[in-house]
Structure 1
C-alpha cells in the first residue's frame, strides 16, 4: 500500500507517493491521479478545499489560520458554492459580497475539478482527504516555518522531512537541489515547482504516520477544527458530497522520529 500527497502546481498536479518505493511525479488531472493510484493507495491527501459551503465559511479554515498565526495568509478560506461555480469573475465577486482576490479566482477551477471528481467516483470519497502543507509543517516543527519562496524556507522544510522519513527527505532534497538553477524545457517538475514537491511530500508522510486509511466510523485521526478551537465558521458535512468538512493534520504534538 502507498500513502499519497497531491499538490496543485500551476499547470499540473504534483504527486508524491510513499510505499515500497518513493515516487515523485505529475498528473494533468485529479482523475489521472486516481487512475494511477486507486489500486494501491491507502489514502490520498490533497491540498485543495473539499466541500463548498452554501453560505459563510468553514470552521476548519478558520482553525488552520488560527494555528498558523503569522502565516495565516497561506490558508485559503473557501467562498460559497455560488462563487466557486460562477462562470465569470464578476458573478463570483458578487457572490462573495463584492470582494474576490486573484488567488481565489484562479483556484476555483481546481476546486470544481476535485468537487466534480468526488461527486462522480464513490470509492474516492472513502480515501481522499483534504489537508494543508503549512499546517502540517507547523504541527511537526512547533510553529510556522519561514516562507517557502526562498532557499532557506525550502531547506527548513526538507529538514523537517528528514526527521519524519529519511528516504523521503533524500528524494525530495535531491529534487530541490537539482532543480534550483533551472531545468530543461521538457522537465515537468521545474525550478518553480520545487515548493509543490515539498508540499506534496509532507502530505504523503502525514498520511503515512497517521496510518490513514479508508474513512469509516472506526478510523480515528486528528483534524481541524479540533477541541482547542472555538472560533467562527461552519463545521459539519457537505451535503453534496456527504463528506466531513475538515483539514487532516498531524495533531498538536505528533513527535518526530529518527528513522
Structure 2
C-alpha cells in the first residue's frame, strides 16, 4: 500500500499527517524530531508534501525566490505569509547579522533577511542536506505552502488570517477546518488531539499539505513555476498546489 504525508515544522521538530493513497482511513498524526525520521519507520511515504522551502538559488532577483513571487499574487491579504527566502549562502550563515550581510550581497535589489525567515533556516538546511545526500528522494518530496493550498481548496483567497499579531484567530482556524473537511479530510483528524510539541495551526497546515500530496499522487499537481526550476545542486525550486482536471496518474496501493 502506498502512503502519502503532509508535513509542517513545529516546536518539537516536524508534524506529519500520514494517510494511505486510497484515502480510506483517517490520517495518522505523528511528531518527529528530524525530517529524516519520516523515512525510517514502518510506514514510509511515497510522496511527501512539506511546508518548507526546497532549492536555494545562488542569487535572488526580486522579493524572494521565483515560486514565492509567483504565488503571492494569488493570496490576496494572506500574501505576507510567504516569506522571501534569500540565496543559499545566507541560509547557510551561522547568525542573523551574517545572514543579512550575505543576503544583501546576493540579491537584486539588495534585501536583508526577515527574523521570521531566519528562524526557518535550520529546518531548511535539514531538508536541503537530506535531499543533496539522497538524490533519489528529490522526486518524492515536494515543497508546498499551506495558504496556497487552502486558497486552491476555496477557489479564492481566504477571508480570515489564522493568526493576528501572533495569536491564533478562531475565525481563521474555523475557515481552514471547514475547507479541510470539504476536501475529504476526516473530521476526527481535523479536530485531533494535538501531539506534544505541535500547535493547532501546525496540524491544520500539515493536513493541508496532505491534501496537496493526494492531488500530486493523482496527477493533479501544479507547480509554480511550471516547469520547476533547479538550484546549482539539482534540487527543484517550486511551490506545489493542485489543478482540478489533468489526466490521472495514480500510485497503486
- TM-score bin, normalised by smaller chain: 0.7 to 0.9
Instruction: Answer whether contact 1:43 1:127 (CA < 8 A) is retained.
Output: yes
Among residues 123, 128, 131, which one is paired with 1:115 in the alignment? 128
Give the total of aligned pairs.
225
Instruction: Answer whether contact 1:237 1:243 (CA < 8 A) is retained.
Output: yes
What TM-score do the two structures reach when normalised by structure 2? 0.81
Question: Separation in 1 of the partners of 2:113 and 2:11?
Answer: 19
**1:30-69 mapped onto 2 (5 Å cutoff):** 30-36=35-41, 40-56=44-60, 57-69=64-76
Match of 1:26 in 2: 31
* TM-aligned CA deviation for residue 61 of structure 1: 0.8
Change (3 A) 1:76 1:135: same
Q: SS where residue 52 of structure 1 aligns? A: coil
Match of 2:176 in 1: 157
Unaligned runs of 5+ in 2: 105-110, 164-168, 246-253
Question: Separation in 1 of the partners of 2:221 and 2:187?
Answer: 27
Question: Separation in 1 of the partners of 2:216 and 2:130?
Answer: 25
Question: Separation in 2 of the partners of 1:198 and 1:34?
Answer: 22
Task: Answer yes or no: is 1:239 the counterpart of 2:240.
Answer: no
Instruction: Answer whether contact 2:5 2:17 (CA < 8 A) is retained.
Output: yes
Q: Which has the higher strand share?
A: 2
Change (3 A) 1:210 1:125: closer
Instruction: Answer whether contact 1:7 1:47 (CA < 8 A) is retained.
Output: yes
Match of 2:108 in 1: none
Unaligned runs of 5+ in 1: 180-186, 213-218, 228-234, 255-259
Provide runs of 4+ in structure 1 moved above 6 Å: none
Match of 1:129 in 2: 142
Task: Answer yes or no: is 1:106 the counterpart of 2:119.
Answer: yes
